[in-house]
Amino acid sequence: MLNELQRKKFTLYFNLWDQDHNGQLAFEDYLLLSNRIAQLRGLAQGSEQYREMYDATVKLWENIQAYADPDQDGRVSLPDWLAYCETSVNLLRKDQLALQAVVEQAVGLFFNALDLNGDGWLTPVEWGNFVKAWGIGQGTLTSFVLLDLDGDGRLSLADILSLYRQFLLSDDPREPGNYLFGPLDSVFDPLVKV
């Protein structure tokens, strides 16, 4: 069973993917997010980069639908999503190779799309594009400082992979990866001393 922190994180994540805010995930939600990122990047719809991002989006949705859509109707409800997350977390805790594959697939698509100059780093400006693409509140821009663990003013792919692993598996509300997709609520705000 998911604990309170996990339910909050995975509900937040569900709500971010639910781009049309209808309470269900569908391919259209994934496509809306992908198109928003493409627009921020200035990618033309017929370009090779756009096609690569589209193909990765299709693959990501197909994986979600295969495991989180029990009736295969093309829609994933929040209860189905949370059940999928619970099963996934339990499996990923046991299988580090599977964890690595899941993390790399999910993070790779967006990291590469947001790394505007292709230097392998996300700057605060590029992080701002992430926040804008996902529709995360503007206050989350300040989370860059929280997530930039070494204080060098940039996030590498390895940094984001590590933070996403924390997001998926951490039970400690003070770990910064839990805030990768924005604040959960004031109770779990790591900037407030508990």
Domain boundaries, the chain: 4-175
For the chain, helix, strand, coil in percent to 5 are 65, 5, 30
**Alpha-carbon torsion (9, 136, 53, 104), positive or negative:** negative
Number of H helices, E strands in the chain: 8, 4
User: The whole model's pTM is what?
Assistant: 0.86
Which residue type sits at 84? Y
141-159 average pLDDT score: 88
Distance of alpha carbon 63 from alpha carbon 181, whole angstroms: 21
Distance of alpha carbon 106 from alpha carbon 8, whole angstroms: 19
> From residue 101, how far is each of 104, 112, 185 by CA, in Å?
5, 16, 30
165-188 pLDDT, tens per residue? 899 999 999 999 998 888 876 333
Q: Which range (86-90, 99-103, 132-136, 190-194) has the least confidence?
A: 190-194
CATH superfamily of 4-175: EF-hand (1.10.238.10)
